[in-house]
Amino acid sequence: MTQLAKIHKGILRWYSKEARDLPWRRTHNPFRILLSEVMLQQTQVQRVLQKYPEFLKKFPSFDSLARARASSVIRAWRGMGYNNRAVRLRKLAGEITHKYGGKLPRTIRELESLPGIGPYTARAVSCFAFGQRAPVVDTNVHRVLRRILPKETQRRRIWDVAEWALPRRNAYSWNQSLMELGSRICVARNPKCPVCPVEKICPSAFKKHIAFRRNGAAEPGRNGIPNRIYRGRIVETLRDSRRSVKASVLGRRVVSGFREKDEPWLVRLLKGLERDGLVRIHNHRKKTEVSLAR
């Protein structure tokens, strides 16, 4: 048996016994699969487990999401963070409704041509909703592949390695099993090699140097807090307000020690949020006011 075949066997057998029963693994409905993928991109599974059924109850299809007001979708997204996703999802639903009659296209090329759908999401939907043999590489899968196949991942692009490592059958379970292993066992810091199903054949098992960190420039922010956090606080404050709020009042609610000189910075953040379709800025008697997008 080849090394790759042993890896397949070990991981797939472990997954068949240990897989968590998650609602998006009980469906092949394209809308439900896409929603779960978008939600899971930047939010912990536990939080998604709570919000996923709530959101589906309000918006069970592309059509219902496309018809909803932006403010309703942003409110329904409460607690998920990265609110841009709510706006992008609604825009995507509009495109699918108008261009494809409410049905998600099936080919990766068509999926990737849709707004907000990148290589990962296109392949995840293709595999999990339409049963295609497509590789899926998210952060977890990337890390697991780099550790179990270090030589291949040093020589080739990660997507090529993922394609090469895909078993001929069972692509769905293989992709899900890599994600599961990456999120529960082969975690970024202190991977749990002693309980890993491929511990005996993994070249990185028990190696201290395998901590996996993504490099990145420091995020822009203020007082050591990234702007992303302030953006989240602004949307959170506006969700509870049915009227527009003065920028100075909003500033005091979201920034501790907010002063008049901070207002240009705040307005820049607000303009960014407006460009992303999350808020509306109104200029009222030379004062800036803001509300959730309609």
Residue ranges binding ligand SF4 (CB under 6 A): 144, 147-148, 185-186, 191-193, 196, 198-199, 202, 204-205, 210
Q: What is the rounded CA–CA span in Å between residue 107 and residue 126? A: 7
Q: Which is nearer to ligand SF4, 126 or 204 (CB)?
A: 204
Give me the least distance between CB of 2 and ligand SF4, in Å please: 17
- 194, HSE (Cβ side, Cα atoms, 13 Å): 1
Distance CA 122, CA 197 (A): 29
Residue 127, SS3 per DSSP: helix
Residue 11 vs 171, nearer CB to ligand SF4:
11
d(CA 29, CA 271): 36
**What is the rounded CA–CA span in Å between residue 181 and residue 22?**
15
What is the smallest separation between the CB atom of 9 and ligand SF4, expressed in angstroms?
14
260 is catalytic: no
In angstroms, what is the minimal distance from the CB of 165 to ligand SF4? 13
The nearer residue to ligand SF4, 49 or 205, going by C-beta atoms, is 205
Active-site residue identified among 37, 163, 180, 236: 37
Which residue's CB is nearer to ligand SF4, number 56 or number 162?
Answer: 162
Nearest to 230 by CA among 278, 193, 188: 278
Specify the DSSP element, H or E, that contains 74.
helix 70-76
- State the nearest-atom distance from the C-beta of 211 to ligand SF4, in Å: 11
Could you list the active site residues?
37
